[in-house]
Amino acid sequence: MIGVTNEIKIVIGSWGSYNECNERALGSKWIDLADYSDWDEIVEELKNQGFELDGIDEELFIQDIDNFPTGAANWDYVHPETLFNLLYEADVLENSHKYDIMLAYLEVRDYDDFKRLVDNYGDRWDDDITIYKNFDWEDYGREMFELMGYQVDASLLDYFDFKEYGESFR
């Protein structure tokens, strides 16, 4: 553990309360996932907030999420327990370096790819992933151009779209 927590926060909703438009229809209070060490603690928090998990609120979903790429998944179909366990196993809730790698990885991949890596390798999911801070697609395109060994007159390089070239390797 590096010591810096990463505040991935979610609002947990229930389909039952949402459909009934009752007092829990807008979901839970914001829950910082790094504040919990297992799903049972989150269940207790939800019960303290009035959720009836053995009744109307048994079907949970992620109603809102913060500090996590929103386009990474269709949150209506990701159970909050699944997300919590995945992030906990990936060690991104406590490890800032892994959190940064996850965010960068999800910019170019998707949630299902990330989940597959964590399911297969646990907290070693990022062993073969190298991320450089402030390294964008143009930088990657330039690096790949150089690695390919292209011989081009330097005066023509201003006309080459390195960003587009870098993105072509997605």
For 112-125, give the DSSP string: HHHHHHHHHHGGGT
How much is the pLDDT for 2? 40
Q: What are phi and psi of 48, to 5 degrees?
A: -65, -30
Tokens representing residue 112 in the block: 């299902």
Strands 9-14 and 31-32: antiparallel
Q: Residue 79 pLDDT > 90, yes or no?
A: yes
**Dihedral in degrees, nearest 10, Cα atoms 127, 116, 106, 14:** -140
Q: Is 32 helix (H, G, I), strand (E, B) or coil?
A: strand
pLDDT at 102 over 50: yes
Contacts of 115 (CB under 8 A, 6+ apart): 86
- What pLDDT does 12 receive? 96
Domain boundaries along the sequence of the chain = 9-124, 137-167
Nearest residue to 31 via CA among 84, 92, 69, 77: 84
From residue 82, give the alpha-carbon distance in Å to each of 62, 75, 119, 120, 129: 10, 11, 11, 15, 23
The better pLDDT of the pair 128, 19 is held by 19
Q: What is the mean pLDDT of residues 106-126?
A: 90
Instruction: pLDDT band for 142, please (50, 70, 90 cuts).
Output: confident
Q: What is the pTM of this model?
A: 0.74
Summarised one tens digit per residue, pLDDT across range 14-67 is 999 999 999 999 999 999 999 999 999 999 999 999 999 999 999 999 999 999
Is residue 141 very low, low, confident or very high in pLDDT (cuts 50, 70, 90)? confident
More confident residue, 25 or 128: 25
Residues of the chain above pLDDT 90, percent: 55
Strands of 60-66's sheet, edge to edge? Answer: 31-32, 9-14, 60-66
What residue type is assigned to position 133 of the chain? K
